[in-house]
Amino acid sequence: MIRTFLWNGHINSHSLHYVNWETIAAPKCLGGLGIHRFHLWHKVLIAKFSAQVLSNQSSLWVSCFQAKYGGRQPQFSIRRGDSCIWKLLCVAGELVQQHTKWQIGSGLHCSVLFDPWITATPISKWPTYVNVLAEIPSQVADFLHTDGAWDIHKLLQCFNSWLVKRILSMPRCNVSSNVLVWQLSESTVMPNCKVYNSFFSTHTFNGSWIWKVKTQPRFYTFLWRLFYEAIPTFSWLASRGISPSVNCLWGCNETEDIDHVFCRCSFAIDVYGYLHELLVQPIQGLPTIAITPPPTMQDFLKLLGSSQAQLRHSMLPKYYAAAFYLIWQARNNKLHAQSYANPRCIAAQVYYMESVNFNFNQLENWDLTSLLGSRNSSSSWDPPPPNWLKINFDGAVRPNGEAAAGAIIRDCQGQFIQAFGCSLSTYAVDVAELYGAFLAIQLTKPWIGKLHGLWLEGDSETIITLLNTALRHKDMQGSSSTSAIIALLLSFPSVGISHVYRQANQAAHYITSASFTHDVFWDRDMSLPFDFSAILLQDCSFCT
């Protein structure tokens, strides 16, 4: 059914498949269309029930299964005569053990060597970082003081300083017992998509920006096909012995391949030229579109991807995505002797379809001052009121498991005061972002009682919503980091918490990126990196 939908096939006939099934069924971030492979997705859906068995959740069905199948080694093992439900749980059991660990509360009944509590892999399976000559305690509880804090001296006796630093940065649960959490989210809630994505080999896909283009699905899906050169040009068909003709339909007297159709063909160049004429009627914030395209389709896509990365709401990818689709549609109509639009009509159609959406989105996100000519405050850094401080924070996690967080303080003139960043031990982006907010608040302690207010800002909408909710409902039970952030915020007479896009948070993002390799601590008296200084200068260019 899916193949029929993608490639227009029928039960009684076969159609060309331009991209293999393994690529199509990969996650979007890895170059696929995000269609689930059912045998893998089935295992993911069962895994959350297997996790309940592993964590001894207090429910009737778990108690029944523990009474009948508990105590086995390994725990998820199948024997003759077991029920089909238990066999299903065992199929996903290995997946659960690969992605879960114990978040330490009291540390009791959690083995230091044989239970996963730092990562999903127990220390007994690690090749290094442990002092084999030291007498290692049997339970994690032996590394805790009576007040629940880590005994750093005892940790350093057993582990090296890098591992101790990682242990100290791990989130702790607020309950007395240990809690089974998913390593990818540091939460008891199973991150279905992340667990599913873990089945696929991690590699860099340069076209992930395609799915961020705010345009019609048929346009960005066509961009995806262009990325894989999965369209039946004459050159592509001739290489498979299907078409005897190879020259361009528009009379260019050149071989029709993907580079020619969209980069060198006179028909496409005319479309881009007419589109440029329409766009010189200025729309505020619209980047210039060049008339001469790059020489190859891959260079063209890199140009669009770079534009999308630099400006989240860039119109360049939107216009070209529509133009590519309509150029190819006109080519097919001509091939099959149907009526087709000329370049001027295609340009007008692109301009009409995408400009209407552009104006609507801009008006929706701008405030009154923006409509009068100011920039979008969500996309540019705004200074705080006089006698206030503003802190921007950020957190990031790389595919290899490295994580970092950073924060920067500036005054009402946009002048740099202080910045700090450090590496973390987490696979969850939200945990890294929350720790970035925690770092930011820690930097403000010297100014308590000396300022009128504090403004906290980040580019994680999830964390900003969480902090705003905690600020409104101060009695609500939250994590220790959230409670500490709110407690320090309330030490100031006035506070503000706001969300911005990455473009307005470049300074904090720079600090976080630098912190993957080593901790960062900068103040106003130090010599700062040139590119970081350029970001600060750009941000304060609007300060008065």
| Each residue's pLDDT tens digit, 241-253 | 887 888 899 989 8
Please check whether residues 168 and 232 belong to one and the same domain: no
Closest among 116, 113, 141 to 55, alpha carbons compared: 116
Please check whether residues 400 and 458 belong to one and the same domain: yes
Residues, the chain: 544
Structural domain boundaries, residue 27: 2-37
In this predicted structure, what is the pLDDT of residue 227? 93
Say which residue the tokens 């029929």 belong to. Answer: 4
Between CA 272 and CA 13, with CA 18 as vertex, the angle to 5 degrees is: 120
Closest among 457, 458, 459, 445 to 487, alpha carbons compared: 445
Three-class DSSP category at 78: coil
- The pTM of this model reads 0.63
Please check whether residues 327 and 236 belong to one and the same domain: yes
Please check whether residues 122 and 248 belong to one and the same domain: no
Please check whether residues 337 and 451 belong to one and the same domain: no
In this predicted structure, what is the pLDDT of residue 541? 62
Closest among 404, 464, 399, 393 to 432, alpha carbons compared: 404
Domain end, chosen from 177, 193, 217, is at: 177
Q: Are residues 429 and 396 in contact, defined by beta-carbon separation less than 8 angstroms?
A: yes
The whole-angstrom separation of Cα 462 and Cα 484 is 18
Report CA 223 to chain centroid distance, whole Å. 20
Phi, psi (degrees; rounded to nearest 5) at 286 = -85, 125
Q: Is residue 43 part of a domain?
A: no
Please check whether residues 355 and 277 belong to one and the same domain: yes
Domain end, chosen from 365, 396, 419, is at: 365
In this predicted structure, what is the pLDDT of residue 316? 83
Please check whether residues 534 and 426 belong to one and the same domain: yes
The whole-angstrom separation of Cα 41 and Cα 199 is 10
Please check whether residues 361 and 393 belong to one and the same domain: no
Q: Is residue 81 part of a domain?
A: no
End-to-end CA distance of the chain: 61
Q: Are residues 332 and 301 in contact, defined by beta-carbon separation less than 8 angstroms?
A: no
Q: Is residue 234 part of a domain?
A: yes
Please check whether residues 485 and 535 belong to one and the same domain: yes
Q: Which parts of the chain have pLDDT scores under 70?
A: 1-14, 129, 132, 280-291, 312-313, 354-379, 475-479, 541-544
In this predicted structure, what is the pLDDT of residue 314? 73
Q: Is residue 62 part of a domain?
A: no
The whole-angstrom separation of Cα 531 and Cα 216 is 36
Q: How many Cβ atoms from other residues are within 10 Å of residue 412's Cβ?
A: 16
Q: Is residue 197 part of a domain?
A: no
Domain end, chosen from 155, 177, 199, is at: 177
In this predicted structure, what is the pLDDT of residue 286? 43
The encoded tokens of residue 290 equal 């060049």
Q: Is residue 335 part of a domain?
A: yes
In this predicted structure, what is the pLDDT of residue 261? 94
Q: Is residue 407 part of a domain?
A: yes
Please check whether residues 412 and 285 belong to one and the same domain: no
Q: Is residue 54 part of a domain?
A: no
In this predicted structure, what is the pLDDT of residue 142? 92
Q: For 265, how many CA atoms within 13 A lie in the half-sphere containing its CB?
A: 24
Q: How many Cβ atoms from other residues are within 10 Å of residue 75's Cβ?
A: 16
Please check whether residues 334 and 415 belong to one and the same domain: no
Please check whether residues 236 and 173 belong to one and the same domain: no
Instruction: Indicate which CATH number applies to the domain containing 421.
Output: 3.30.420.10
Specify the number of domains making up the chain.
Answer: 4
